[in-house]
Structure 1
Amino acid sequence: MSFTPMSGCRGIKCTADINGQCPKQLKAQGGCNNPCTVFRTDKYCCNSSSCGPTALSKYFKKRCPNAYSYPKDDPTSTLTCPGGTNYRVVFCPR
């Protein structure tokens, strides 16, 4: 997926086949679940203030560095653009 602002700020892009590379424990019909949905623990859902990256979030982050991979992944993955920004969205970028 590519989500690119037409001007003024940084966009995101991930060309990894996340569904095809989904870890076995997260596989779901037609795709890949997130760890919180599967395990329902604070480690993966981050309901407290003491959570951090896990092996699974690092797995996805390695494949899609711009993606928000765990609840407090703000420094590298929280992007903002000015109101009124136009975007180009491509679901299967090359």
Structure 2
Amino acid sequence: MARIWGRTNCNFDANGQGRCETGDCTGGLNCQGWGTPPNTLAEYTLTGQNNLDTIDISLVDGFNIPLDFSPTTNACRGIRCSADINGQCPSELKAPGGCNNPCTVFKTNEYCCTNGQGSCGPTTFSKFFKDRCSVVRVEIGFLVN
């Protein structure tokens, strides 16, 4: 699986050192890991289960920018998350340039669902994201030709 995310309000020097307001990669222009939340994720898997390619948009790391993740042909449909999540973000989750996921903010099992602990059921916050972007964690598969 691969993850792609947008970074916002970045400033880098000639050596590629600097910071981004959202999606920062530990101060580097070239990411060596995952971006710092909040960041909207586009994810894809090539030749995954049953030899299917899958794509999804995930808000598991919060939200910073709208995404449209679409193929360049009409072989399958694309997905989009274009709601004004930053403008409607609950005050507890607001972050500069984005809207954090509740796990980042509260760090409890109720919101993080780590190792099968906690209720891991829907919460007010998960419903907030799901109501605005129904593509959250929905995968769309298509056969590889």
Aligned equivalent of 2:141: 80
Matched, 1:66 2:132: no
What is the CA–CA distance in structure 2 between the aligned matches of 1:32 and 1:22, rounded to whole Å? 6
Matched, 1:26 2:93: yes
Aligned equivalent of 2:71: 5
Deviation beyond 6 Å, 4+ runs, structure 1:
none
Unaligned stretches of 5+ residues in structure 2: 1-66
Aligned equivalent of 1:56: 125
What is the CA–CA distance in structure 1 between the aligned matches of 2:144 and 2:107, rounded to whole Å? 35
What is the CA–CA distance in structure 2 between the aligned matches of 1:16 and 1:31, rounded to whole Å? 12
Higher-helix-fraction structure: 1
Q: Which has the higher contact order (CA 8 A, sep 6+)?
A: 1
Unaligned stretches of 5+ residues in structure 1: 69-76, 85-94
> How many Å apart are 1:83 and its aligned residue?
5.6
TM-score after normalising by structure 1: 0.67
TM-score after normalising by structure 2: 0.46
Q: CA RMSD in A?
A: 2.0
Q: Which amino acid aligns with 1:78?
A: E
